[in-house]
Structure 1
Amino acid sequence: MSTTETIFAAEPQLRLGVFLGVLVIMALWELLAPRRRRDIPRVIRWSNNLALVVIDAIVLRLTFPILAVGLAIMAQDRGWGLFNFIDAPAWLAVFVSVVVLDLVIYLQHVMFHAVPALWRFHRMHHADLDFDVTTGLRFHPVEIVLSMGIKLALVLVLGPPAIAVLMFEVLLNATAMFNHSNVRLPLIVDRFLRLIVVTPDMHRVHHSILPEETNSNFGFNLPWWDWLLGTYRAQPLAGHEAMTIGIEQFRTPRDQWLDRMLVQPVKEPASGYPINRDKND
């Protein structure tokens, strides 16, 4: 069996194993060293947030005949994309591909905050009234489909090695759960980690109810883009324990149920939070 065939065959087991492993580790960490007090019972939030994971996976499989890793293998076989035209060292192609994929996800995240129609879908992620490991899995199915479409287009243009796409997908899922976790890190550890990865304290600012803080710290994996592009904010104005999580809309426990979350894009106006909003809203 070739390397690409091995990657394709191992992808489901690898992704599921890392997903479950990180989920369990972060959930236990949250129990042992929580950063903030919980306001909504875990059983309500976890059951509904995790149900979204199942729905998102089903929708992706029904929407796309092939996903990012499979398309990378197809592109390699057919010579599509930049790295299938140039003779770059394998290590360089993998490194550049992972970094470029991460940059595009950062820019996509900014776009979902800048375009009101896209914010309608993304705000379901922000409407979580608590901030823990399952928040990193809570995305509207339409946003998941649009995000995969962007990744597939990038794979066609870039022609990244399949191993790079698999590494990125696994890293993105793992770091999203890590940096959404309600865990306490020593300040010196947090400062060091922020040099290489988005930490929970860094990303929690992004989930503040204040629009100026919501529109900061867009990175999911690498922190560099926020520093370089001027969207970095070190700490929330009210402090991590006192800050209010969520958005001004959808603030009842009933809004955290799956049926209500799925229809949030068509409920309430999309004003107040998009980056290009009217400051007088």
Structure 2
Amino acid sequence: MQNEVWLRMGSFIGVLVIMMMWEAYLPNRVSPVTKLKRWSSNFILVLCGAAVARLLVPAGLAVVAVFAAQQHFGLLNLIELPYWLAIAVAVVLLDCLIYWQHRLFHHVPILWCLHRVHHADPHLDASTGLRFHPIEIALSLGVKALGIVLLGVPAEATLIFEILLNASSIFNHSNIKLPDWLEWPLRKLIVTQAMHRIHHSQVVTETNSNYGFCLSLWDKLFGSYTEQAKAGDKGLILGLKEYNSETNNSGIGTVLLIPFRPKPDKS
């Protein structure tokens, strides 16, 4: 269990440092809000989310997977598959689950109130991939735990998926631009920065597309894929119109209260 914690923490810090260094040397665009104000809120949200996760599931989601296996409960515990194949299938199915969770958070008003904390960031960089309200983190943990039980996810698959989910979120929110010769082939498999930037567009139809976190196939399979923004990648205006000023995006208190306050006037 201790090794699992260090593996998750090490991969998280490693990917975050690599992407932040990449952003520093080859940034795609300039933030309209000062970095200090954005980062202070975004990284404090990470700590709040980690505290919530620790309180709700102290030993981690792998324990949920072990419990399901011991009770011989869940789809993959009821069918015979080679263990490596069960792990691969579980990781893919969990990624599909997160796709639908994300889509639900956009279309159910009370859930959107929470998720708009993430979209209120007027700029995208690696820290945005960690910017989620603690209540959304708690609900997401519940969804993942339920999915792990119902699917009978192996403990190893749970660990692999959590590492991939964090790494993918940091990667595809990063403020970089891949060259076209790499972007388009890579997008056939995973969610790239240019693909996910469309999801953070201020154009509502574009925001309500490209929900995937890791694999790009879910958006194409379920009809939510947008290949290119109307204004092109360079013309994209990021964030939400009503949260486009430093006043609406500075201070952890302001960010935490976004779900519970009326939307500010657009400016």
TM-score (norm 1): 0.90
- Give secondary structure in 1 for the equivalent of 2:235: coil
Greater CA deviation, 158-167 or 68-77?
68-77
- Residues 130-279 of structure 1 correspond to what in structure 2 (within 5 A)? 130-256=123-249, 257-268=251-262
Distance in 2 between the 1:9 and 1:85 partners? 29
Q: Over aligned residues, Cα RMSD in angstroms?
A: 1.5
Report the AA paired with residue 77 of structure 2: N
What residue number does 2:118 align with?
125
Q: Is the 8 A contact 1:205 1:213 kept in 2?
A: yes
Report the AA paired with residue 123 of structure 1: R
In the TM superposition, what is the alpha-carbon distance from 1:84 to its structure 2 partner? 1.9
- In the TM superposition, what whole-angstrom CA distance separates every residue of 1:168-215 from its partner, at most 9, and x where no partner exists? 100010010000000121011000110111000000000001101100
- Residues 81-96 of structure 1 correspond to what in structure 2 (within 5 A)? 81-96=74-89
In the TM superposition, what is the alpha-carbon distance from 1:71 to its structure 2 partner? 0.8
1:29 to 2, 22, 35: 22
Q: Is the 8 A contact 1:83 1:159 kept in 2?
A: yes
Q: Is the 8 A contact 1:19 1:173 kept in 2?
A: yes
- Give secondary structure in 1 for the equivalent of 2:29: coil
Report the AA paired with residue 257 of structure 2: V
Report the AA paired with residue 187 of structure 2: R
Report the AA paired with residue 261 of structure 1: V
Structure 1: which 4+ aligned runs deviate by more than 6 Å? none
- In the TM superposition, what whole-angstrom CA distance separates every residue of 1:52-97 from its partner, at most 9, and x where no partner exists? 1001010122233553211112222232222222221112101110
Q: Is the 8 A contact 2:33 2:245 kept in 1?
A: no
Distance in 1 between the 2:78 and 2:213 partners? 30
In the TM superposition, what is the alpha-carbon distance from 1:269 to its structure 2 partner? 5.1
Distance in 2 between the 1:21 and 1:260 partners? 30
Report the AA paired with residue 190 of structure 2: V
Q: Is the 8 A contact 2:73 2:150 kept in 1?
A: yes
What residue number does 1:277 align with?
none
- Give secondary structure in 2 for the equivalent of 1:240: helix
Distance in 2 between the 1:201 and 1:136 partners? 14
2:101 to 108, 112, 115: 108
Q: How many residues align?
A: 264
Task: Could you tell me which runs of 5 or more consecutive residues in structure 2 were left unpaired when the two chains were aligned.
Answer: none
Q: Is the 8 A contact 1:19 1:174 kept in 2?
A: yes
- Give secondary structure in 2 for the equivalent of 1:117: helix
Report the AA paired with residue 53 of structure 2: L
Distance in 1 between the 2:222 and 2:240 partners? 24
Q: Is the 8 A contact 2:198 2:207 kept in 1?
A: yes
Q: Is the 8 A contact 2:32 2:122 kept in 1?
A: yes
Tell me the percent identity. 45
Report the AA paired with residue 264 of structure 1: I
Distance in 2 between the 1:266 and 1:74 partners? 36
